[in-house]
């Protein structure tokens, strides 16, 4: 159950992005020694690092507009580029708010 935290003010929607070149993933795949059940710990760690980075940047964006929290956070992974140039982008967005009594 989520606690009831009073929202005093909704400020704006904030976003943050991080992009990784596909070469990172190719390098990881070529050096993988630990694959269990089709899962790669190295790739999962990279994606976890990307998520932590984008959420940190989202907090910075919220703080810059005077918020002390972000609600309704959405994470979207997108591949961009063509056959010669590919990247994976992680975009986070949410509503910057002021919470508390």
d(CA 68, CA 97): 6
Taking the C-alpha atoms of residue 57 and residue 10, their distance in angstroms, rounded to an integer, is 19
What does the pLDDT look like over 47-72, one tens digit per residue? 888 899 999 999 999 999 999 999 99
Q: How many domains does the chain have?
A: 1
Q: Is residue 1 part of a domain?
A: no
CB 98 within 8 A of CB 11: yes
**What does the pLDDT read at residue 20?**
78
CB under 8 Å, gap of 24 or more: what pairs does 29-35 form? Answer: none
State how far the Cα of 25 lies from the Cα of 99, in Å rounded to an integer: 39
Q: DSSP 3-state assignment of 23?
A: helix
Specify if 25 maps to a domain. Answer: yes
Residue 37 lies in a domain: yes
The predicted model scores a pTM of: 0.77
* 2 located within any domain: no
Query: Residue 77 falls within a domain, yes or no?
Result: yes
Mean model confidence pLDDT for the chain: 82
Q: What is the CATH number of the domain that holds 21?
A: 3.30.110.70
pLDDT reading at 37 higher than 80: no
Lowest mean pLDDT among 28-42, 50-64, 86-100: 28-42
pLDDT for 10 equals: 97
The boundaries of the domain holding residue 31 are: 7-99
Local structure of 3: helix, strand or coil: coil
Task: Give the residue-averaged pLDDT of 30-59.
Answer: 75
More confident residue, 3 or 59: 59
């Amino acid at each position: 159950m989520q606690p009831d935290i009073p929202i005093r003010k909704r400020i704006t929607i904030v976003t943050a992005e991080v992009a990784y070149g596909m070469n990172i993933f190719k390098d990881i795949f070529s050096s993988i020694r630990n694959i269990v059940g089709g899962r790669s710990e190295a790739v999962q760690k990279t994606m976890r690092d990307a998520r932590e980075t984008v959420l940190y940047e989202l907090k910075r964006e919220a703080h810059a507009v005077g918020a002390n929290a972000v609600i309704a956070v959405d994470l979207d992974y997108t591949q961009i580029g063509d056959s010669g140039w590919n990247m994976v982008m992680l975009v986070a967005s949410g509503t910057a708010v002021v919470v508390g009594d």
